[in-house]
Chain A
């Protein structure tokens, strides 16, 4: 029962956990703390996801010379709350010939897979729920579970558009999973550890990994961002939803809260991909040039958030600039370009580390 060591010893949570341990037997206290932290994470990232939706809409508006949501609350800040309220209160409709069980299961697969990945991220030195030594591996594994939910959704809807969308998603995720995995592997070669907190610590002395590994790191970062965008099924890789061809793709038949799960999962996945990139390439919660290293009270989580939002903005920029790829172009890009480049890059990184050419 050493769960408690993995659990965040933030000052606030420390007082709470002390208090819970004082009124309960140890095992019960541990479980209670786990539940409390799980609920806190759920709420936190649901709200974060909602605000990413707002950010996306604002950024999209600015890219298109529009103003964006600006009616509900100051600068439209309460817009997503209103949207969420609307979605919660909506009726859950479905067609007659659906596979009921799988249809209802699918959204939870997607959202649970997305939220589970959040557990291992080191948002700051203390703010990490679950610091396992195979963190990177866990992330890769978890992030591919979501696609099962999408496949189930497409299959159980009994709708041709949904099925086509789901199949495309399967194909896309299987292909691009390789690139994500290999580019992450390139960076793991450099750190020599799969534990996320250690990867961050390794960047404290030698500078961020994207500088430490220079050329191969930058290539790995580019490939990771491309493949990561494809993983999250966002434009230009949104063949899965492809409004102009497939209605809404795999979630055509979903309404209300179940639709909201898919929607939220997309944004949380975006957050996950950006977080992985921040940890692997941009030093996680470390401040640039160590400017806040000596300020003990400074919440390092701010640096993490700033970097993540920067990368999310990059993905939004992709989305509002590039047109959607055709299926064959999608596969050409992966199998003819990204994969060979990635393998070469992995070799390059190995050679650089072997010859000790890292910075």
Chain B
């Protein structure tokens, strides 16, 4: 008897599947998830977890959160990050302290694995949502993440 109940179940499950896709079909007009990219360039908003490129956010008075600890440089599996650092005397304490000179990021080598961002103890670097990276010269993809003349925010220690 399970023979006929199998047939019944089979037809029922097939019809369930078809009703699901049929429902999609009817709502495809309004609910289409396609982004017509170059046309909606102005309004296009990438989703939050999209990995565009690594950037270092700065405050309005040109301060960042990078202490120059080099954790990101070590974490990067393919050497996309180079940190050129220096020691400078902290004016308040009078002690010598490590600070970054240049945080160099090779976008052309980056695999967007995100290990550097996870490794950073002070959350100095984050993902940006920009993805239009085409340039005519490869060297333009090597970026210096800290802005010129920027310094580390007060109170950030590693």
Residues of A at the B interface (CB closer than 8 Å) are 59, 61-67, 317-318, 320-322, 337, 341
Complex A-B, nearest 10 residue pairs according to Cβ-Cβ distance, in ascending order: A62-B28, A67-B34, A321-B21, A66-B34, A321-B17, A65-B33, A62-B25, A63-B21, A67-B32, A321-B18
Q: Are A65 and B17 in contact (CB under 8 A)?
A: no
Contacts of A322 in B (CB 8 A): 14, 17
B14 to chain A, nearest CB (A): 7
Q: Give 22 A-B contacts (CB < 8 Å), ordered by A residue.
A: A59-B25, A61-B28, A61-B34, A62-B24, A62-B28, A63-B24, A63-B25, A65-B24, A65-B27, A65-B31, A65-B33, A65-B34, A66-B28, A66-B33, A67-B34, A317-B18, A317-B21, A318-B18, A320-B21, A321-B17, A321-B20, A337-B7
B79 at interface, CB cutoff 8 A: no
- Per the bound structure, the CA–CA distance linking A65 and B29 in Å amounts to 8
- B61 interface contact, C-beta 8 A: no
Of all chain A residues, the one with the shortest Cβ separation from B10 is A337
A235 to B110, CA, bound (A): 40
Kindly state the separation between the CA atoms of A337 and B24 in the bound complex, as whole angstroms.
Answer: 30
- Report how many residues on chain B are interfacial, defined by Cβ distance under 8 Å: 17
Rounded to whole angstroms, the CA-CA distance of A64 and B32 in the bound complex is: 8
Please report the C-alpha to C-alpha distance between residue A322 and residue B32 in the assembled complex, in whole angstroms. 21
Chain B nearest CB from A322 CB (Å) reads 7
Most chain B beta-carbon contacts within 10 A, residue among A59, A65, A337, A341: A65
Distance in Å: Cβ of A302 to nearest Cβ of chain B: 24
CB closest chain-A residue, reference B19: A321
Measured CB to CB, the nearest residue on chain B to A323 is: B17
Question: B92 interface residue, CB < 8 Å from A?
Answer: no
**Which positions 57-111 of chain B face chain A at CB distance < 8 Å?**
none
B residues in contact with A337, CB < 8 Å: 7
Q: Which residues of A contact B18 (CB under 8 A)?
A: 317-318, 321
**In the bound complex, how far is the Cα of B18 from the Cα of A317, in angstroms?**
7
Contact of B32 among A65, A318, A320 (CB under 8 A): A65
Q: Which residues on B sit within 8 Å (CB–CB) of A67?
A: 32, 34, 36
A59 partner residues in chain B, CB cutoff 8 A: 25
| Minimum distance in angstroms from B84 CB to a CB of chain A | 47
Known: A63-B24, A63-B25, A322-B14. 11 other contacts (CB 8 A): A62-B24, A65-B28, A65-B31, A65-B34, A67-B32, A317-B25, A321-B17, A321-B18, A321-B20, A322-B17, A341-B7
Least Cβ distance of B86 to chain A in Å?
53
**Bound state CA distance, A279 and B76, in angstroms?**
67
Closest to B15 in A: A321
The interface residues of chain B lying within 8 Å CB-to-CB of A321 are 14, 17-18, 20-21
The smallest C-beta distance from B15 to any residue of chain A, in angstroms, reads 10
Distance in angstroms from A17 CB to nearest chain B CB is 44
Q: Digit string of B23-51 for contact with A (CB within 8 Å is 1, else 0)?
A: 01101110111101000000000000000
Q: Inside 8 A of B17's CB, which chain A residues have their CB?
A: 321-322
- Complex formed: what's the CA distance from A322 to B20 in Å? 11
- In angstroms, how far is the closest chain B Cβ from the Cβ of A146? 27
Chain B minimum-CB-distance residue to A337: B7
Closest-CB distance, A63 to chain B (whole angstroms):
5
Q: How far is the CA of A59 from the CA of B28 in the complex (A)?
A: 10
Task: Kindly report which residue of chain A lies nearest to residue B31, judged by CB atoms.
Answer: A65
Residues of the A chain whose Cβ atoms lie less than 8 Å from the Cβ of B25:
59, 62-63, 317
- Complex-state Cα separation, A318 to B11, whole angstroms: 12
Chain B residues numbered 105-141 whose CB sits less than 8 Å from any CB in chain A: none
Measured CA separation A64–B7 after assembly (Å): 28
Chain A residues near B34: list those with CB within 8 A.
61, 65-67
Chain B hits for A61, CB < 8 A: 28, 34
For B22, what are the chain A residues with a Cβ–Cβ distance below 8 Å?
317
- Are A63 and B14 in touch, CB under 8 angstroms? no
CA separation between A61 and B31, bound complex, in Å?
12
Interface hub of B17, B21, B24, B36 (most chain A Cβ within 10 A) = B21
The docked-state distance in angstroms from the alpha carbon of A59 to that of B21 is: 11
Q: Which residues of B contact A64 (CB under 8 A)?
A: 24
